[in-house]
Amino acid sequence: MRLLTHNMLSCNIKGVKNGYPLRLEAEKWTEKEVDFNAKFLRGIFPKIDWPALVGSARSFGFNDLLPDEAPDSSLLASDDDLLRRFHHALLEIHVEEGGLVCPETGRRFPINKGIPNLLLHEDEV
Amino acid sequence: MVASTTMTDASKYQESDSANIDTPCSANVCATPDIEKKYVHHVYNAIAPHFSATRFARWPKVASFLNSLSPGAVILDAGCGNGKYLGFNPNCFYIGCDISPSLIDICAKKDHEVLVADAVNLPYKTNFGDAAISIAVLHHLSTESRRRKAIEELIRVVRKGGTVLITVWAVEQEDSSLLSKWTPLSEKYNEGWVSGSIPQVRNSAALMLKQIPEANEDCCSTTGISKHRYAHPGYGEEGRREDNVIAASFCNGIQEDAISSSKAVTNQEYFVPWHLPYHRAEVNGTSTTAIANGLAKKDDKKGAVVYNRYYHVFAEGELQRLVTGIENAATVEQFYDKSNWCIILQKR
């Protein structure tokens, strides 16, 4: 699971109002190189929840990879280094083992072999 | 013992079903009925490698939809199966989900970004995706409320202006001989062949009611759909006329009585067999268990373990009718192709 995916996952347990972002508990993760696509990155930037992305990157110890505050999109157009760091955080960090925890209920969704399982139990739907 | 289980399961199903009719978006819509667990989820988990090995041809209509999306688009494939459409347009980012962990494992081995989730309750933020696809998924959902909920989810997770492509098997199959190889559900139930959890809802008033649109504003305007009409054996004039009778009586405010007294339209609930060759089944211990549990049987003549997959095959106009009650979904296009009904929606 990449951080881009994490950025759009939400807990949909019945009655949960603040199921986003899921807290990432990474036990094992890897970095894999992915083709750099500036057009794709600039296109997706406005959709990204910046604090959630920064928070998840920090959970791997990437404390200085991204600025705390979301950069202006014009900066993303001119600053190639920033765009590459954004690319790395978004697409090149893969969580292999761990969990995703609902901020409201504490329910933990497991991640095994890189695959999050977000199926709900019968009493959660 | 077995008999009492049968009764309980069947009555449970009936109960939840009538609740769905009253409140189509109630929470229990998300609870998976037994019939889907046993005859969809379990089957796909058991046949996943064989299923995947036979599913590689990409459908041109889906391909052209995916190719029409802008670079950088996020595409959500809800019910992605073996992931054959994931990564199709390399300028886009795909996330696939399926309820079958076995199929998702296959996708992950191909390096696709995937997760295990239920199409009736997608674990995504609202308004994020640029497009969503549901290819051959909705026909595995066993109630109209669940089929509608799955469409609502597809619409929910895409942004305003985002598009959704849905394809489902049509009851009007181009190769009509296929239908004779399928098992209409009610008949099998009557023969006592299937396990007790298969409810005998096929010919009941409850099912007929479910086929009536819950939001009735547009239920008489079937004109947009009728241009795709064509004659087909096995879906003759009688079935069609009855469709019209139902629509008309609903619009006139005549409800349950008139509807339940009309004869059932063409059967849409089927078991469709999947033949898992013995050499495939042997490496997969789940087949032995499935045979022992009565969820599969051996066919020595064909040298295969036969699983039954539950299908609700769609009739002409049915997809459009499901969408009618979803206020932020506009129909862009609908068509019939290769024995499938298809619809493209745009979020308003």
Output the six-digit token pair for B245.
Answer: 């009778």
Instruction: Please tell me the predicted confidence (pLDDT) of residue B200.
Output: 42
pLDDT score of B265 = 54
Residue A120 with chain B: CB contacts under 8 Å: 30, 118, 121
Predicted confidence (pLDDT) at residue A118 exceeds the cutoff of 90 = yes
B188 vs A59, residue with greater confidence: A59
| Test mutation, B12, B70, B116, chain A, max A CBs within 10 A | B116
In angstroms, the separation between the Cα of residue B158 and the nearest Cα of chain A is 11
Pairing of β B158-169 and β B74-78? unpaired
Q: State how far residue B79 is from chain A, nearest Cα, in angstroms.
A: 13
Inter-chain residue contact A39 with B71, CB threshold 8 Å: yes
Contact B305, B288 (CB under 8 A): no
pLDDT in tens, A62-113: 889 999 999 998 888 889 999 999 999 999 999 999 999 999 999 999 999 9
Contact B104 A14 (CB under 8 A): no
| B-proximal residues of A, 17-46, CB under 8 Å | 20, 37, 39-44
By mean pLDDT, which of B169-178, B250-259, B307-316 is the weakest?
A: B250-259
pLDDT tens for residues B106-120? 999 999 999 999 999
| pLDDT given at position B207 | 35
Residue (of B118, B107, B103, B117) closest to B85 by Cα position: B107
CB atoms within 10 A of CB B1: 5
Query: Cis omega (within 30 of 0) on the bond before A46?
Result: no
Instruction: Give the DSSP per-residue string, B122-184.
Output: --B-TT-EEEEEEES-GGG--SHHHHHHHHHHHHHHEEEEEEEEEEEEBSS-SSTHHHHHSEE
What domains appear along chain B, each with residue ranges and CATH number? 2-347 (3.40.50.150)
Looking at the complex, report in whole angstroms how far the Cα of residue B102 sits from the nearest Cα belonging to chain A.
11
Give B7→chain A minimum CA distance, Å.
Answer: 21
Q: What is the side-by-side order of every strand in the sheet holding B304-312?
A: B183-184, B269-277, B304-312, B296-299
pLDDT in tens, B47-67: 888 888 888 788 899 999 999
Task: Please name the residue of chain B whose CA is at the shortest distance from the CA of residue A119.
Answer: B117
Q: Is the pLDDT of residue B239 over 80?
A: no
Sorted by where each starts, the structural domains of chain A and their CATH numbers stand as 3-119 (2.20.25.10)
Residue B221 has pLDDT above 50, yes or no: no
> Do B123 and A118 count as a contact with CB atoms less than 8 A apart?
yes
